[in-house]
Structure 1
Amino acid sequence: MTTRPDTLDAALIRFRSIFGELAKGAGERDLSGEHPYELVQELADAGFGKLRVPREYGGFDVDLPTLFALLAEAGQADANVPQIWRGHFTTTEILRLETDSEVRGYWLTTVAGGAVFGNAQSEPADRVAGLDSGGGWGTITTRVRRSDAGERVVSGTKFYSTGSRFADYIRAAVVDGDGHREFVVLPARHQGVEHVDDWDGVGQRQTGSGTTIFTDVPVESNGEIGRYTESLRGLDSFVQIVHLANLVGIARSVLAETIDIVRNRTRTSRHALTQDAVADPDVLSVVGTLYSRALTAETLLGHAARRLDEAHATGDEAVYSDAYIQASAAQVAVIDAVLAASSDAFNAGGSSTARRRAHLDRHWRNARTLASHNPVIYKPRVIGDYYVSGNAPVSGYYADRPSAANAADQSERVQL
């Protein structure tokens, strides 16, 4: 068995070696539909999942700019990888802010030991027809109840359950008998969990983002997490910035592959000023534009990550609101830059780059799929409303969530 790295520096060497292996087969996996199970597990074994776990629990405790920079590296290797890990790192963020010290310590120690979390939050609209899917959670029909034996069990169907096929545990959004929503932790490999590989998106095809069916799956010990708003601060921004990191990775990969295409091109066009592709000013202009768009995306990623880190440092709700706005503004510009880059790259290579074996099309498909999450069309209005009228963005994750202080106050009233 391979020894796990003890230091971040040693882990980084392992991560980057695995990224290299992921990059080698990314294009072929996109065509074949093969999932990178073994390489994702290798990342877990190398300590990738404990990047944000505090040192007191055995983690590397990196800051957010470092985490997102590494996710961008992973996205450059294979754009499916950051998406696979998105649910895991989102859960780690919830646990870092968890108000229950026993729950926080139990799960962060478990993650530091190598456990990987998947996500099962959203449900498909066609299964909840006629119901409004508001907020950050969407409509939830998956329920938690007491079994005849007295244990809490979960039954229901999820979609967009990204990463769950690769995971040891699943963070699932459920409702109880009173209709209150909560997150619970479920064992990913329990006999009552069925992973259906039916994700049919045009991109991000190897993320396992299909259906997960739960049938009387028991909630884990210490399995109620993120019960209070304090545990969910900044979560909207965090999940969006993961996508931005992935888009940055795609932009880098587009640039690198286009440069290789130009260097290996043996002809240009009869309209070209030269038949030497590496000296063709129009082709070189395409590459220069791709670099500018990648740089734009990288710069905005760093800006959004630093602002969310500042919000965590202050704990100020106004700073969290501003971090959301900065992430939203970055989302608008990064999506525009990366979609344009992944389309314009074809201009540098001619018709041969449109062939399936060139794999260049996967970048646009992956970027387009990522851009469809957390719809960007609403963000300019939210940003404008914030700056013109001072209206702070509303977090969907806060719905039905009391603050820890309010919960404690209510508990004292009940006791009185």
Structure 2
Amino acid sequence: MGFPVRWAVRTSTRTGRTADDELWQRVVRELADDLAVDALTRDRAGKPPYDEVARLKEAGLPGLLVPPGSGERGADLRSACSVLGELAAADSSVAELLARHYALTWSGRLFGTPADAERFERRTAAGGHLLAGGVDLPETAPGPPLTLRTTGGGRVLSGCRTLEAGATVADCLVVDASPAPGGDPLVVLVDPAHPGVCVSPAPERLGQRLTGAGSIVFDAVPVTDEDVVGAVPRDERALAPLTALTPLILRLLLSHVALGTAEGALAEARDISRAARAADPREGGRLFDGTDGRPATDPYLLLAYGESATEAHAAASVVERATAALTDGLAAGRELTADESADIAALVGAAEAVTARSAVHITTRVLGLFPGTGPSVADPGLDRFWRNARVLTAHHSAAHSLRDIGDHYLNGSLPRLAGHR
């Protein structure tokens, strides 16, 4: 397929680049090239992503966000976002799987004490574990909560949770569960191999078919004190500004996945157009786009590519600003203020709205460049980009995000916490 050229605005502005930075770039580039080779075949097969997870682990990417001070290689959020964009251009399902893992790696620092965070990160990073699950903040839970019941032998976890990614392939599950009525929900770490954990793969989906989505039933699964990562204040007003960033991390990471999907579709279309050019002797050697017979200098063809490239460039600019703000907010830690957290939420909301719209527009426009393609040996498979973009953005309402941004801009109100699961 060939990588899309990364726009300069998305390049990290960090100084003092180390050898490890160059190593990660090379590792990600090689993995993305590898995924691109059989992306269409794997998408059509729709099998659980065991092989894809093995490739991620072989590349060491699940441990990318391990804090540098922990004795492991580590990187900041900006670097992780760059990784996701590159991978999404090749295979957005794998990128989403990794994005949701990255969001959960922050759980210890967002919900626990420094000691809790160190224990959580040491435990999950030791074997390069892949995380799946989700933690709901107040007023964002989509369904009945999981429950933690105290018995003579300790706590037991019960209930059901539906996951968009990682249900069938995760090494560890991170979920929130409600203890006795009135108590703050606890964030806990669960071993999916426990006999009380039952996983059911999701039925075949339109897009993002290789994320390992599914539902998980917890039937009286024991939870020890060592399994407790932290607590989520039930009252939204009691949330620390740092903890309020929780849904924003995932929303921004998925925005990078959506943008990478659009860039991948555009680059794939460009490569196909270039490869299909042929000299037509009837036109004196005039170059044609062999996919549909239009000249490669057709103004409508050039306009379509120009509009798509410009839209991707504009979306990347918005996403980069939100990425820089959220990276700085996480670095501030407990010193982050409520106003700063609200400003970050507005920027992430803008990035989410712009990338969701651009991903659908660009992937739809790319399909229009190659009319008449379908499931065949010669089919370039560009529809997978459109299907993946549709599923990635299905739960996002641009109108809701834009109203929140407008309310924050006009009235200084705090944006709502609601976001992706």
Q: TM-score, normalised by structure 1?
A: 0.83
Other-structure match for 2:304 = 286
Aligned equivalent of 2:399, options 371, 377, 386:
377
Do 2:111 and 2:187's aligned partners in 1 also have CA atoms closer than 8 Å?
A: no
Q: Partners of 1:105 and 1:8 in 2: how far apart?
A: 24
Other-structure match for 2:352 = 331
Aligned length: 377
Aligned equivalent of 1:368, options 371, 390, 401:
390
Shift of 1:72: 0.7
CA gap 1:220/1:19 in 2 versus in 1, 3 angstroms: farther
- Is the deviation greater in 20-29 or in 229-238? 229-238
Other-structure match for 1:167 = 170
CA gap 1:97/1:160 in 2 versus in 1, 3 angstroms: closer
Gaps of 5+ in 2: 1-18, 233-238, 290-295
Shift of 1:378: 0.7
Other-structure match for 2:244 = 233
Shift of 1:171: 0.7
1:281 aligned partner, one-letter code: P
Aligned equivalent of 2:157, options 146, 154, 158:
154
- Is the deviation greater in 256-265 or in 7-16? 7-16
Partner SS state of residue 393, structure 1: coil
Alignment of 1:263 with 2:278, yes or no, is: no
- TM-superposition CA deviations, 1:361-394 (whole Å, max 9, x none): 1111111111123433311111111111111113
- Is the deviation greater in 68-77 or in 92-101? 92-101
- Is the deviation greater in 98-107 or in 227-236? 227-236
Aligned equivalent of 1:96, options 109, 119, 136:
109
Do 1:244 and 1:301's aligned partners in 2 also have CA atoms closer than 8 Å?
A: yes
Alignment of 1:301 with 2:322, yes or no, is: no
Aligned equivalent of 1:143, options 147, 152, 167:
147
CA gap 1:339/1:147 in 2 versus in 1, 3 angstroms: same
Gaps of 5+ in 1: 1-5, 123-132, 398-416
Shift of 1:134: 7.7
Other-structure match for 1:56 = 69
Provide the identity percentage. 24
- Is the deviation greater in 330-339 or in 223-232? 223-232
Other-structure match for 1:21 = 34
Other-structure match for 2:413 = 391
Alignment of 1:118 with 2:132, yes or no, is: yes
2:266 aligned partner, one-letter code: L
Q: Partners of 1:396 and 1:327 in 2: how far apart?
A: 12
Other-structure match for 1:183 = 187
Q: Partners of 1:54 and 1:391 in 2: how far apart?
A: 33
Q: Partners of 1:21 and 1:296 in 2: how far apart?
A: 28
Other-structure match for 1:195 = 199
What is the Cα-based RMSD across aligned positions, in Å? 2.7
Do 2:329 and 2:341's aligned partners in 1 also have CA atoms closer than 8 Å?
A: yes
1:240 aligned partner, one-letter code: R
Other-structure match for 1:346 = 367
Shift of 1:154: 1.1
Do 1:310 and 1:319's aligned partners in 2 also have CA atoms closer than 8 Å?
A: no
Shift of 1:318: 0.8
